[in-house]
Chains A and B, each alone.
Chain A
Amino acid sequence: MRSERFSPRAALGRAAPHLAFAVVFFGAWELYGRSDDAQLPAVSAVATAMADMTADGSLPSALGSSMQLLVIGFLSAAVAGFVGGVLLGRYRPLDRTLMPFLSALYAVPTVALVPLVLVWLGFGLSGRVTVVFLSCYFPIMMNVYAGVRDTPPELIEVSRSFLVRSEFGLLRTVVIPAAVPFIMSGLRLGIGLGVVGMAVAEVYLRLGGIGALIAAYGATFRLDYLFAAIIPLPLLGLLLTKLFTLIERRADAWRAG
């Protein structure tokens, strides 16, 4: 098996293009931001705003409450998406009956559902969690479904030949292990969309979290603070997606590499 030692030089080498791009990009931004008719706050101004919001505690506490929303919404979608995907993937009548409707629902942008969710569930935590849930449920469920459908029938036969008799036994010994790569990519897509859903829910509701900061600073045209509030979102998305990519790679160790 391949063993990869961590080497700082190699890591720097890999990161060099990204670093170079970041330097050029933020450099140009800074220069433009300092010009008189700039429509953008300079990078340094955004950094100052960020430091300010960190010092007064508003950014960390907003991040904290956003994360709480994200975690609850994502975990419930992961559980429900897993169960739904397995049921639909293994149980034909259910698949035939429900899949057309679910596919149609999948095509509706989550944002379009937000007003409906609010009418039904109100402005409390449950409404926001539902928005996050809806944004990550479908990619997770659809991937689990695809993975379950993709199980090689000959491996199911192998398991049966070695005395695995129950449907639950087949799920445990073949179907779910074979679907792991699909499940992992579903979770990775789901967490990314969950971050988007989290921001949508909070901005729309102007209630707590990063989204509320964005809404508030947007309304008062304080662009440096607005940017300082927006920047954590893509960073969070990137970080979580990266984390899931790493877990995915570990789970896939058995794949031809």
Chain B
Amino acid sequence: MSKSAGPLDDAGIEIDGVGKTFRWRNKGVAEEVVALGKVDFTVRSNEFLAVIGPSGCGKTTLLRTVAGLIKPDRGEIRVGGRPVTGPGEDRAVVFQHFGLFPWKTVVDNVKFPLRMRGVPDKEAAATARANLKKVGLEGFERSYPHQLSGGMQQRVGLARALATDARILLMDEPFGAIDAQTREFMQEQLMKLWDENKKTVVFVTHDLDEAVSLADRILVLSRRPSRVRAVVDVDLPRPRWDYDVRSEPAFAEARRTIWEMLRSDLVEEEEGAGIHAI
């Protein structure tokens, strides 16, 4: 695929006044949660964007709307200028819950999106193996998901998304289940992959250090009903793997800014809870 910068080839994402309210009935009583208040934001083509915000603020919901898995009930999402109406070849998702098919072997799980795109079996298998190698899972091709640890399953989910070679990677806490050492290795791998082969990455995380050390910009969401709380630029030179990012003043500064925003949200939440209790 050529990567000339034309409007159709543009891998930017416009999130235009997007809101989502979940409604359901519980024992006949109508209930609802406003998962996304009104989110306005533009993800630049080829940028590495981290998304951070309090638990339950709608990060997964936002990613699902961008992926085209659910329709927002307010606003619109455009990818490369075109409105999103459903999932597309240009986007691949790494799921927070891994989303592996338990009846398929590891290699067949990674082959799945390729087979659905009509890639011949042999070629799909070769691509799948290459991507499993990238996430350090060589030798586990024939295992079933239940035979792997949580962190290994998560890496299979990552390999599956990478194998599609989609222009946009939507990653929902992709390293959340991975142990500290493997996590550093995976972060470095991801940085290198992104450096070699430019993609737009939307990377949801709970981990402030991870957000700052990986991203170009950090989108901070408020608690529900979520809006854009702030956008923080991270001015750290790349490549970031060959020096100690964490000891840079810019790292500490970005980290502190975001930490204070998240903390004030927590304090407000407690005060809010206090008012409810009266």
Residues of A within 8 A of B (CB): 1, 154-155, 157-158, 160-165, 173-174, 177-178, 180, 253-256
Residues from chain B with a CB closer than 8 A to the CB of A165 are: 86
CA distance A255 to B146 in the complex (A): 7
Q: Is the CB of A180 within 8 A of B86?
A: no
A-B contact list, 12 entries, CB within 8 Å: A1-B147, A154-B97, A154-B99, A157-B64, A157-B99, A160-B86, A161-B69, A163-B117, A173-B112, A254-B145, A254-B146, A256-B146
A141 and B247 CA atoms in complex are apart in Å by 63
**A158 & B102 in contact (Cβ 8 Å cutoff):** no
Residue from the list A155, A164, A254, A255 in contact with B99, Cβ < 8 A: A155
Residue contact B99 to A158, C-beta cutoff 8 Å? yes
The answer to the question of B140 belonging to the interface, with a C-beta cut-off of 8 Å to chain A, is no
How many residues on chain B are close to A (CB under 8 Å)? 27
Closest to B101 in A: A155
Give the interface of B toward A (CB within 8 A): 64, 67-69, 86-89, 91-93, 95, 97, 99, 101-104, 112-113, 116-117, 144-147, 164
CB pair A162–B113 under 8 Å, yes or no, is yes
Residues of A within 8 A of B113 (CB): 162-163
Tell me how far the C-beta of A135 lies from the nearest C-beta in chain B, rounded to whole angstroms. 30
A160 to B99, CA, bound (A): 12
Please classify the interface of chain B as helix (H, G, I), strand (E, B), loop, or mixed, using the class held by over half of its residues. loop
A160 to B69, CA, bound (A): 7
Whether A180 lies near B87 (C-beta < 8 A) is no
Please indicate the chain B residues that have their CB under 8 angstroms from the CB of A154 in the complex: 95, 97, 99
Measured CB to CB, the closest approach of chain B to A63, in angstroms, equals: 37
Q: Which chain B positions have C-beta within 8 A of A1?
A: 147
> Which residues on the A side are within 8 Å of B147 (C-beta)?
1
CA distance A152 to B88 in the complex (A): 22
With A162-B116, A178-B103, A255-B146 given, can you name 4 additional A-B contacts, CB distance below 8 Å?
Answer: A160-B86, A160-B87, A161-B67, A162-B92
Shortest CB distance A104–B (Å) = 25
Find out whether the CB atom of A255 lies under 8 angstroms from the CB atom of B102.
Answer: yes
**Assuming A158-B99, A160-B69, A161-B69, is B144 touching A254 (CB within 8 A)?**
yes
Task: Report which residue of B67, B93, B97, B99 has the largest number of chain A beta carbons within 10 angstroms of its beta carbon.
Answer: B99
- The distance in angstroms between the C-alpha atoms of A158 and B99, with both chains bound, is 6
In Å, the complex CA distance between A37 and B103 comes to 60
Ranked nearest first, the 5 interchain pairs of A and B with the lowest CB-CB distance are: A158-B99, A162-B113, A256-B146, A254-B144, A254-B103
How near does chain B come to A249, taking the closest CB pair, in angstroms? Answer: 14
Whether B87 contacts A163 by the Cβ 8 Å rule is yes
B116 in contact with A164 (CB, 8 Å)? yes
Once A157-B69, A177-B101, A254-B144 are accepted as A-B contacts, the answer to whether A163 and B95 lie under 8 Å apart by CB is no
In Å, the complex CA distance between A17 and B65 comes to 60
Write out the residue numbers on chain A whose beta carbons fall within 8 Å of the beta carbon of B87. Answer: 160-163
- What's the least CB distance linking B190 to chain A, in Å? 19
Separation of A218 and B101 alpha carbons in the complex (Å): 54
Q: Give the distance in Å from the alpha carbon of A162 to the alpha carbon of B111 in the complex.
A: 11
Give the residues in chain B near A163, CB-CB below 8 Å.
87-89, 113, 116-117
**Min distance, Cβ A162 to any Cβ of chain B, angstroms:** 4
Q: Which residue of A lies closest to B118 (CB)?
A: A163
* A155 smallest CB distance to B (angstroms): 6
Q: What's the nearest-Cβ distance from chain A to residue B89, in Å?
A: 7
CB distance from A180 to the nearest CB of B (A): 7
**Docked CA distance A70–B102 (Å):** 34
Contact call B146/A162, Cβ cutoff below 8 A = no
* Alpha-carbon gap, A155 to B98, bound state (A): 10
> Which residues of A lie under 8 Å from residue B99 when comparing CB positions?
154-155, 157-158
Closest chain B residue, CB of each to CB of A165: B86
For A162, A177, A256, the residue with the greatest tally of chain B CB atoms inside 10 Å of its CB is: A162
Given A165-B86, A254-B146: A180 in contact with B103 (beta carbons within 8 A):
yes
Per the bound structure, the CA–CA distance linking A165 and B69 in Å amounts to 11
The minimal Cβ–Cβ distance linking B266 to chain A, given in whole angstroms, is 28
Contacts of A161 in B (CB 8 A): 67-69, 87, 91-93
Considering the complex, give the chain A residue whose CB is closest to the CB of B145.
Answer: A254
CA distance in complex: A158, B87 (Å): 10
Min distance, Cβ B171 to any Cβ of chain A, angstroms? 13
Minimal beta-carbon separation of B75 from chain A (angstroms): 21
Q: How far is B102's CA from A161's CA once the two chains are assembled, in angstroms? A: 17
Q: How far is the CB of A220 from chain B (nearest CB, A)?
A: 54
- Complex-state Cα separation, A164 to B86, whole angstroms: 11
